[in-house]
Structure 1
Amino acid sequence: MNGNMTYGRLPTASADHFHHLDAHVVATKALLTTVDNIQDTIEAQGMMCALGSAGFGKTMSVNSALRKLAPDITYRLELRSGPTPRDIRHGLFKALGLPGDPPTRPIEFDRLLKETLSDTFRVLVCDEAQWMGRSSFEYWRHLFDDRDTKIAVIFAGGDGCYKVLKREPMLASRIFIWQKFTRMSENEVVATLPAFHSLWCGVSPNTILGIDRAAAHGNFRNWTTITKHMCNGMNKMKLTEINDDLVRWVYSKLGGM
């Protein structure tokens, strides 16, 4: 989690950009779908799972949608390394800004969290949800199923969270919306890149497609890395436009080429 943000709250829009790239949030098909899905999840006070491989824009889309829809009532956790229900309890305690020391007994801790989550409606976001196992997802269900809590829960994670949830019908049946993030199509890449960063304005579609096929593969995070290298290379080489030498130089920075 970004160390410059208040723990548990949404990061600023600038923090969404990988490598701190000075770029724009683009209304891609995935982002527009995320806005619609999160709106429906909030209205239903339901649970949503945004899933897909790394670099397809899950976290950025969820954060951007929530900044538009529910910035003041969203509380965000980012969990790592096989979190347990205890980790989730303490993460919620910190994210919600509860006073004093955390309770030492689970039954007291759960009572405190349920009372807090019953006083007003909140959106809880669990990022990197692929790290969770069955017991952790069950704990979220425990909070969600309480008759007094007023919450919508959004999981964002890799394909691992889908596999865990689908193995447990009691958990999977609670998910109101499943949203699968996939790579951008070539047409969307060509349309998106110039709006994403000024570097790509005026660059031929064939050049963009060649880079996508060779290195980016419709992955937004890959494109962010490539754009950062392109900007650095243009400064080093004193270039005003992209050429073949620059493209080869960027490829030399990327693994697997």
Structure 2
Amino acid sequence: MSGDMDYGKLPPEGEDHFHRLDAHLVATDTLMTTLDNIEETIEDKGMMVAYGAAGYGKTMSVNAALRKVAPDITYRLELRSGPTPRDIRHGLFHALGLPGEPPTRPIEFDTLLKDTLSETFRVLVCDEAQWMGRSSFEYWRHLWDDRHTNMAVIFAGGDDCYKVLKREPILASRIFIWQKLQRMPEDEVSATLPAFHSLWAGVDPKMIRGIDRAAAHGNFRNWTTITKHMLNGMKKKGLTEVNEDLVNWVYSKLGGV
């Protein structure tokens, strides 16, 4: 987060793009599906899981959807390194902007959080949810299950969060929507990139598909990295358009191409 006042809030749109690339948000099929699913989850006051491999746009899609439908009532946590229920308690304390010092006893802490989450409807977002184990997911269920709390919960994470939840029927049965984010099909890649960044506006779709097969593999984070290298290469080489030599130069920057 950029500062204490921003803790727990949705980040600015510009921070969604990898490498802080100056690019445009495009209404891809994935983004529109995420928007529909989040709207339904909020209406249901339920829990949703957006999961998939790294780079498929989970965080960007969730953030973009929430900026549209619930920007003022969304509170976001990003957890790292095997968080415990204690970490989630403290994360929620700061994300919700609660005053004073966090309670030292779990029972008092839980009472404070439940009372706060009962005051008004909120959307809680747990990003990087793949780091959580069973006890951490169970703690979210404990808060959500309380008959007084008033909230929807969105988990965004890698495949591991799906595996953990599916192993626990009591937890899995609480999830209202499961959304798996997958690689973008070639046709959608070639249609999306010119709208994503002006660099690709005049590039032959055949070249874009070739780059996708060789290096990007339908992964939007890969495409962001490739776009950044392309822009750097054009500046260094004094180019005004993408050509095969530049593409090969970018490949030299990437592993496994």
Structure 1 residue ranges (4+ consecutive) displaced by more than 4 angstroms after TM superposition: none
What is the one-letter code of the residue matched to 1:77? L
Shift of 1:143: 0.1
In structure 2, C-alpha distance between the alignment counterparts of 1:179 and 1:229, rounded to whole Å: 31
Alignment partner, residue 180 of structure 2: 180
Shift of 1:219: 0.2
In structure 1, C-alpha distance between the alignment counterparts of 2:177 and 2:8, rounded to whole Å: 23
What is the one-letter code of the residue matched to 1:241? E
RMSD: 0.7
- SS of residue in 2 equivalent to 1:11: coil
Shift of 1:3: 3.1
Alignment partner, residue 52 of structure 2: 52
Alignment partner, residue 113 of structure 1: 113
Q: 2:40 aligned with 1:40, yes or no?
A: yes
What is the one-letter code of the residue matched to 2:226? I
The 5 Å alignment of 1:64-143 reads 64-143=64-143
What is the one-letter code of the residue matched to 2:149? T
Show structure 1 runs of 5+ residues with no match.
none
State the Cα deviation string for residues 71-106 of structure 1 (Å, max 9, x = none): 000000000000000000000000000000000000
In structure 1, C-alpha distance between the alignment counterparts of 2:50 and 2:243, rounded to whole Å: 38
Alignment partner, residue 147 of structure 1: 147
State the Cα deviation string for residues 119-153 of structure 1 (Å, max 9, x = none): 00000000000000000000000000000000000
In structure 1, C-alpha distance between the alignment counterparts of 2:166 and 2:78, rounded to whole Å: 22
TM-score normalized by the length of structure 1: 0.99
What is the one-letter code of the residue matched to 1:193? L
Deviates more, 1:4-13 or 1:20-29: 4-13
Alignment partner, residue 15 of structure 1: 15
In structure 2, C-alpha distance between the alignment counterparts of 1:70 and 1:226, rounded to whole Å: 32
TM-score normalized by the length of structure 2: 0.99
The 5 Å alignment of 1:150-165 reads 150-165=150-165
- SS of residue in 2 equivalent to 1:26: coil
Alignment partner, residue 27 of structure 2: 27
